[in-house]
Amino acid sequence: MPNSRPTGFLPGMDEVARLTRAGQLAEATGLVQRLLRGEGEPGPTAAPNPAAPDPTILEGEFTRLDPAAKTEKAPGHRSGHATRTGLGETLRGLAARLRPTGLHGAGTGAPRPPADPLPDGASFVTASYSGTSGTRAYKLYVPANRGDGPRPLVVMLHGCTQSPDDFAAGTRMNAFAEQHGVFIAYPEQPASANPQRCWNWFKPEDQRRDRGEPDLLAGITRRIMGEHPIDPNRVYIAGLSAGGAAAAIMAAAYPDLYAAVGVHSGLPAGAAGDLPSALAAMRQGGRAAPTAGRTGRKVPTIIFHGDRDTVVNPQNGDQVAAQATAAVTGLRTETQSGEAPGRRTHSRTLHTDPSGRTLCEHWTIHGAGHAWAGGSPAGSYTDPQGPDATAEMMRFFLEHPLSATPG
């Protein structure tokens, strides 16, 4: 991938990257703010990383703060004058350094094979939902194979820089939906809500039921349920990276709506409350909010995370599992190892209740980075060598209807 800095890349971002890798988040934040104010470049910086990807691509959830928050002081910063001013855009180079290389579709100009054509009788159309929290577009896949009676629905939340079409192509979820007669919804995060199209999983206003993005995503889900023959006992949600973190939030906020959740390379609900804590959670592993996921119905959860993920620390997968099983007694834990020809090895940990029902299934993919396991190179951030996360998620979802889950 190219190593040259793009036009507009701030000098001094190498030093910002170094400070962040060292865990000095307050210092990194302060340096970004000084650079934005034009107060000059810092001293000598580390030599450029020859393996660093193009800094114009962002998949690290480094996002712009709301305009209303531009003068908010960074938590823990010693200076009384430093402010967070559009930090997301200035951290693109840093995000690139934290993203693994060698993933299919990770470059701006990488050619990709075409996505699979639609079967006769299927549709993949764009729609829009508006509610009290705003408006979001989404795409809906309606399978040709709809069978008889109400059908399942899976809501898929893309990662940063992705789109519904890109995410659908990379995960191949529509092909599996056709096999099983499942509707698939792909909400779209616009650049107006986040410059890198990340779901704002680290903002408190986007972590709560009936507020912000959770309200919009639940609204899209309910609208589809009202307009199509959807089985209310078989509605599921899943996501990648920022989308995985958002899916965990949705499961915690709406356990009455979603029968099960899939979290791929994401973080637990409540892992961060602002940008600095988001950076720390991604690097070191997030800590779930004390009450998140611990009361009410436990939503069955399937987790995928690569053990070489340098964007979202694999400990976050462990913490998603801990959140999914918190305060549940009598669970039995079993870890299985697996390998398929031409695929990466993996460990799968099952948490089952006394009746033998699996509450949480946690896949650790050995040697994998930050990408959808078993995905297609027709989409971005995919790892075709991984076990097939799409097939396993669909299998897990269909095994867990809402009516079968104890309240």
pLDDT of residue 198: 97
Contacts of 159 (CB under 8 A, 6+ apart): 59, 167, 198, 239, 240, 241, 242, 243, 244, 265, 381
pLDDT at 360: 98
Q: What is the pLDDT of residue 407?
A: 52
Q: What phi and psi values does residue 95 have, to the nearest 5 degrees?
A: -60, -40
The residue ranking higher by pLDDT, 275 or 6, is 275
Angstrom distances, CA of residue 354 to CA of 52, 293, 358: 48, 21, 10
Least Cα distance to 240 among 197, 294, 284 occurs for 197
Q: Checking phi first, is residue 311 left (phi over 0); if not, alpha (psi -120 to 50) or beta?
A: alpha
Average pLDDT over all residues of the chain: 79
Is the predicted pLDDT of residue 69 greater than 90, yes or no? no
**Nearest alpha carbon to residue 240 among 317, 182, 177, 184:** 317
Q: Which residue has the higher pLDDT, 337 or 13?
A: 337
User: Which among 146, 143, 137, 155 is positioned nearest to 116, based on CA atoms?
Assistant: 143
Instruction: With cut-offs at 50, 70 and 90, classify the pLDDT of residue 304.
Output: very high
Dump pLDDT digits (tens) for 24-51: 555 666 665 554 444 444 433 233 333 3
pLDDT reading at 65 higher than 50: no
Contact 350, 308 (CB under 8 A): no
pLDDT surpassing 70 at residue 266: yes
More confident residue, 43 or 286: 286
Average pLDDT over residues 110-131: 86
Summarize pLDDT for 344-367 with one digit per residue, the tens.
Answer: 999 999 999 988 999 999 999 999
Residue 403 is predicted with a pLDDT of: 80
What integer pLDDT is reported at residue 220 of this predicted model? 98
pLDDT in tens, 174-214: 999 999 999 999 999 999 999 999 999 999 999 999 999 99
Q: Which amino acid is at 171?
A: T
Q: Is residue 118 scored above 50 in pLDDT?
A: yes
Q: What is the pLDDT of residues 48-61, one digit of tens each?
A: 333 333 322 233 43
Mean pLDDT for 303-329 is: 96
pLDDT score, position 295: 53
CB proximity list for 288: less than 8 A, separation 6 or greater: 268, 269, 270, 271, 319, 322, 323
